């Protein structure tokens, strides 16, 4: 049976956590394949509000096996804390439903120190990392001087708490598929933060795109069925780096997006930079990932904006200038709408415009942070 992949199409925080939680009931396993606790995935459902950093967002489903794949980097202190917090919220976690790859690399305290020191040294050219030691941990991995989870037994404090979860995960995943069951891969970050395909050097240090889903799990291309790209109905970015459609945070619309979208980072609490939807970069994400379907999240955040702009690309006649299309917005609330036909006409026009410009089917529209505030089409 197949593996379906969920990948952020922008600069992260597209709403991947909500989608994974929503869809996980149809899968036997949910697998993180890249990144570490730079990720912050928010899940809001009948059990409460959860902010997951390392543990896959399928953990709220009791029958789902959650796997932290070999492509991830793990800060054991954070993982221990996350397990403890989830257990205190009543979520059952055991070596039955949480498995950690023996080949995932460990983020050590020295990696965090180095991350912070490097950022300080970059001064005006800083990347705006999450300061979680991600870059230096991957540097050690690629430099062949990293420490993998299989060596955790050398740290009695950590292995006492995490040892039972550590297994070789490639074979476990293969057996699940051979057994006729489905696997969902949960991307972290977004395509534009990918170390190769993103806005280098303002990127993270792993492959957050489809290639990372292969190398970060040991699955093979023939296993993949759907590759679902997740986009906000607008764009956000945390940290430094180019952002062609950015709107000044002090503008009326900039403020609207930050406040209505509650655009503050799940991991660092930093205010996210906000801007219009960017067709050009979305097309790039679709191309490098092969998205065959897309989900548009946070449509409700655009409610009440009179004129919506969409960046189509740059035209270079003399000096390059950005080309925008303007689409009339809608006054009505879309918050919580669950049926496509109930959307205001102009919201439908906006969505159709995105779908046609991207030439990729929109299969899910999200109208609020909760599981059921969703339109399936
Ligand atoms: P992720 O990193 O891709 O999982 O996204 P985050 O959880 O970091 O950020 C997405 C934020 O938007 C979270 O606070 C979600 O609860 C919230 N969210 C997700 N979908 C919607 C939606 O359709 N409408 C609104 N208003 N909020 C949403
Ligand atoms: P989720 O999974 C948004 C950004 C950081 C910084 C750059 C490098 O929640 O979508 P790093 O600490 O990885 O070296 O930082 O990448 N970044 C994210 N931005 N969402 C994320 O994850 C991110 N993970 C990293 O802000 O610009
Ligand atoms: Mg996030």
Structure token digits, residue 142? 């690629």
pLDDT of residue 6: 98
Distance, CA of 21 to CA of 373 (rounded, Å): 13
Query: Helix 279-289 to helix 345-358 angle, to the nearest 10 degrees?
Result: 50
pLDDT of residue 249: 84
The pLDDT of 295-300, averaged and rounded, is 98
Residues having CB within 6 Å of any atom of ligand 1: 8, 12-18, 40-42, 44, 262, 266, 297-298, 300-301, 366-369
Q: Are strands 98-101 and 273-275 parallel, antiparallel or unpaired?
A: unpaired
CB contact burial 337-358 (16+ within 10 A = b; e otherwise): beeeeebbebbeebbebbeebb
pLDDT of residue 319: 75
The pLDDT of 66-82, averaged and rounded, is 98
294 and 230 Cβ atoms separated by less than 8 Å:
yes
Residue nearest atom 21 in ligand 2 by C-alpha distance: 189
Distance, CA of 211 to CA of 8 (rounded, Å): 13
Point out the least confidently predicted range of 63-72, 204-213, 246-255: 246-255
pLDDT of residue 373: 98
pLDDT of residue 266: 76
| Number of continuous H segments (helices) and E segments (strands) in the chain | 10, 19
Residue nearest atom 20 in ligand 1 by C-alpha distance: 369
Of the candidates 186, 215, 223, which has an alpha carbon nearest to the alpha carbon of residue 15?
186
213 and 5 Cβ atoms separated by less than 8 Å:
yes
Choose, from 41, 61, 105, 197, the residue flagged as catalytic: 41
In this predicted structure, the answer to whether residue 71 has a pLDDT above a threshold of 80 is yes
pLDDT of residue 321: 86
Banded pLDDT at 104 (limits 50, 70, 90): very high
pLDDT of residue 224: 98
Query: Helix 109-122 to helix 134-142 angle, to the nearest 10 degrees?
Result: 110
Distance, CA of 338 to CA of 342 (rounded, Å): 8
CATH of the domain at 70: 3.40.440.10
Structure token digits, residue 11? 């600069």
Residues having CB within 6 Å of any atom of ligand 2: 8, 11-13, 38-41, 127-130, 132, 134-135, 188-190, 193, 204-205, 238-239, 266
Residue at token pair 């543990």: 55
In this predicted structure, the answer to whether residue 1 has a pLDDT above a threshold of 90 is no
Distance, CA of 206 to CA of 212 (rounded, Å): 8
- Structural domain count, the chain: 1
Determine how many CB atoms are found less than 10 A away from the CB of residue 226.
15
Banded pLDDT at 315 (limits 50, 70, 90): confident
pLDDT of residue 73: 99
Task: Ligand 1 pocket test: pick from 5, 6, 18, 236 the residue with the most ligand atoms within 8 Å of its Cβ.
Answer: 18
H-run or E-run covering 297: strand 293-297
* Shortest-distance atom of ligand 2 to CA 239: 27
pLDDT of residue 20: 98
CA 213, 181, 59, 96 dihedral sign is negative
Domain that holds residue 158: 3-376
Point out the least confidently predicted range of 66-80, 132-146, 304-318, 346-360: 304-318
Residues in contact with 189: Cβ distance below 8 Å, sequence separation at least 6, in sequence order? 8, 11, 12, 34, 35, 38, 39, 204, 206, 208
In this predicted structure, the answer to whether residue 316 has a pLDDT above a threshold of 90 is no
Determine how many CB atoms are found less than 10 A away from the CB of residue 125.
10
Point out the least confidently predicted range of 17-31, 266-280, 306-320, 331-345: 306-320
Structure token digits, residue 130? 């999450």
The pLDDT of 90-106, averaged and rounded, is 97
Residues in contact with 90: Cβ distance below 8 Å, sequence separation at least 6, in sequence order? 47
Mean residue pLDDT across the chain? 96
Q: How far apart are the first and last CA of the chain?
A: 23
In this predicted structure, the answer to whether residue 250 has a pLDDT above a threshold of 90 is no
């Amino acid at each position: 049976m197949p593996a379906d992949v969920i990948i952020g199409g922008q600069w992260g925080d597209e709403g991947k956590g909500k989608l994974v939680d929503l869809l996980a009931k149809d899968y036997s396993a949910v697998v993180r394949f890249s990144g570490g606790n730079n990720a912050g995935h928010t899940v809001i459902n009948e059990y409460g509000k959860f902010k997951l950093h390392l543990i896959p967002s399928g953990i709220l489903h009791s029958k789902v096996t959650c796997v932290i794949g070999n492509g991830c980097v793990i800060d054991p202190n954070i993982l221990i804390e996350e397990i403890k917090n989830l257990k205190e919220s009543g979520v059952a976690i055991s070596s039955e439903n949480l498995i950690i790859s023996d080949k995932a690399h460990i983020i050590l305290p020295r990696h965090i120190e180095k991350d912070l020191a490097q950022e300080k040294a970059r001064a005006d050219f800083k990347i705006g990392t999450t300061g979680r030691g991600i870059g230096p941990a991957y540097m050690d991995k690629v430099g062949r001087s990293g420490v993998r989870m299989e060596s955790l037994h050398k740290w009695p404090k950590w292995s006492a708490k995490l040892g039972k979860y550590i297994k070789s995960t490639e074979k476990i995943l293969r057996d699940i598929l051979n057994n006729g069951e489905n696997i969902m891969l949960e991307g972290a970050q977004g395509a534009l933060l990918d170390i190769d395909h993103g806005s280098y050097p303002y990127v993270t240090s792993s492959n957050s795109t489809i290639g990372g889903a292969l190398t970060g799990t040991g699955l093979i291309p023939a296993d993949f069925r759907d590759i679902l790209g997740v986009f906000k109905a607008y764009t956000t970015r945390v940290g430094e780096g180019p952002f062609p459609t950015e709107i000044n945070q002090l503008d009326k619309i900039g403020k609207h997006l930050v406040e209505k979208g509650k655009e503050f980072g799940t991991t660092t609490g930093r205010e996210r930079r906000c801007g219009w939807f960017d067709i050009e970069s979305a097309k790039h994400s679709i191309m490098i990932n092969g998205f065959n379907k897309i989900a548009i999240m946070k449509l409700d955040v655009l409610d009440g904006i009179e004129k919506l702009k969409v960046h189509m690309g740059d035209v270079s006649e003399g000096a390059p200038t950005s080309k925008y299309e303007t689409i009339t917005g809608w006054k009505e609330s879309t918050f919580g709408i669950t049926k496509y036909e109930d959307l205001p006409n102009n919201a439908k026009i906006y969505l159709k415009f995105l779908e046609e410009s991207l030439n990729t089917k929109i299969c899910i529209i999200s109208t609020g942070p909760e599981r059921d505030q969703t339109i399936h089409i």
